[in-house]
Amino acid sequence: MGEATLTPIAELPAHELRKIIVAACAGTLIEWYDFFVFGSLSSTTASQFYKTGTPDGDLIAWLAAYAVGFLFRPFGAVVFGYLGDKIGRKFTFTFTIVTMGVSTTLCGCLPTYANIGVTAGVLLIILRIVQGLAIGGEYGGAATYIAEHCPQHATATGGLCLSLIMILIFRQALGTDNWTSFGWRFPFIFSVILVAAALYIRLKMKESPIFIEAKEAGKTTKNPIIESFVRPYNLYYVCISLFGATMGQGVVWYTAQFYSLTFIQSTLKTPLTDSYLIILIACFLGLPGFVLVGYLSDNYGRKPFILGGMLLGAVLFYPCYLGLNNFRPYENNVANSSLRTNYSPAMMGFIVWIMVCFVNLVYGPMAAFLVELFPTSIRYTSMSLPYHIGNGVFGGLVPVIAVTIATNTGNIFGGLFFPIGIAAGCFLIAVAVTPETLGADIMKMDAAGRKGETPAAANDLNEVTAVDEYIVAK
């Protein structure tokens, strides 16, 4: 084993830490690109694969196919979390990026409904399932790997930005007709180049030193799934991380950055290029906020910022969407050649940026919070499942649930009550039970929720065992 592999984190030079963070984040950003390019193309490709009789029905079918990937993320979290805690972080998230890249590229090669009928939509769903399984293993692995060297990253929003950039480039270069006919395939196929670069980077990365030391010391668990989800003490903290953190984070993220794109494009009928630029610029300007909030959370704690993001989302999402509607391009949201005098892409972008600031607050400290909540032996597994249920199920279903509610009720804002209710409920739970994790020593933690101030103290372990027995008895 190389000496560099076992170098204590505190002794790693700054340039080595930067290389580790850039290498891990580059791969993760590309994997999020693969995941989000599918959703970003909804207005162009929905009717290419689904024919329900109405454009709204085609969109709902496409968003439902998109949602399938989210529903399978928790399964990927369990499978790859198990492998990550047993085999290692590097192998697992190297495998996930290859899986994601292959499935995304195949999305761009699929025949459409016009060629093979309903089979096209079925094949698309199968590829979405593979994508969901892959991304389910990605976040926990990358977040754990980076945090076991040095925390903080914001690659999900970066992946969304990258997907929007590629869509805009290909659409402008090919023109409207070619884009609608075949150009939409290129952002999917472009994934081959990105994944090849990411794979090269990841193969050069070394395994997490904390994981290696834990494995050599015999501190890894025989079955991280049982340890995480059967042992009552750890399961308690898994539930807290879901219902008191990631559930609210998920709906805030997808309402602010993804459903806003669907709302602007499909409900307000904003011109396609304008709509992509509105979201792209707002998200790009919001990227530094993740770093800023991460830095502040290192000094003032994770919980206050997470609570602030959920509360602001619950209170201000409705007014923000009213603002988007106020600056819409067309009267009665019917596209025609005459734009409203009040139409303002700049103001729409500003409103989306405000919502991205909510995401900064709730997402910026989240990786550090989850990493600090669980010990090395079960960290990958324990943080992955609640993250992907919170983001994949609660957050990922926001677009399809919101569009379905709005379509069936005739109220374009009706779908907002789902994410608003989830964010508000999660905020109340977090106030009551979610712990502050700042100050946790992730190298010394023996069980979930233990900050590890003292090295593996027998009293700590006895206390955890006593809590296990108490919970089981109750």
Instruction: Supply the pLDDT for residue 364.
Output: 86
- Count Cα neighbours of 185 within 13 Å in the Cβ-side half-sphere: 12
Instruction: Supply the pLDDT for residue 172.
Output: 75
Strands (E), 48-185: none
* 3-class DSSP state of 132: helix
Between 161 and 456, the higher pLDDT residue = 161
Using CA atoms, how far residue 6 sits from 14, 19, 83, 90, 336, in Å, is: 16, 16, 21, 15, 64
Per-position b or e across 89-125, b if 16+ CB within 10 A of its CB: bbbbbbbbbbbbbbbbbbbbebebbeeeeeebbebbe
* pLDDT value at 10 more than 60: no
Question: What is the C-alpha separation between 174 and 272, in angstroms, rounded?
Answer: 14
Whole-model pTM? 0.77
Considering only 39-53, 293-307, 410-424, which range has the smallest mean pLDDT?
39-53
Mean predicted lDDT score pLDDT of the chain: 80
- Count Cα neighbours of 49 within 13 Å in the Cβ-side half-sphere: 30
Tens digits of per-residue pLDDT, 183-208? 888 888 887 887 787 777 777 766 66
Q: Closest Cα to residue 40, out of 317, 261, 292? A: 261
DSSP-derived letter for residue 222 is S
Tens digits of per-residue pLDDT, 245-282? 999 999 999 999 889 998 999 899 999 889 989 998 99
In the chain, what percentage of residues exceed pLDDT 90?
30
Is the separation of the CB atoms in 238 and 386 below 8 Å? yes
Tens digits of per-residue pLDDT, 48-62? 899 988 888 888 888
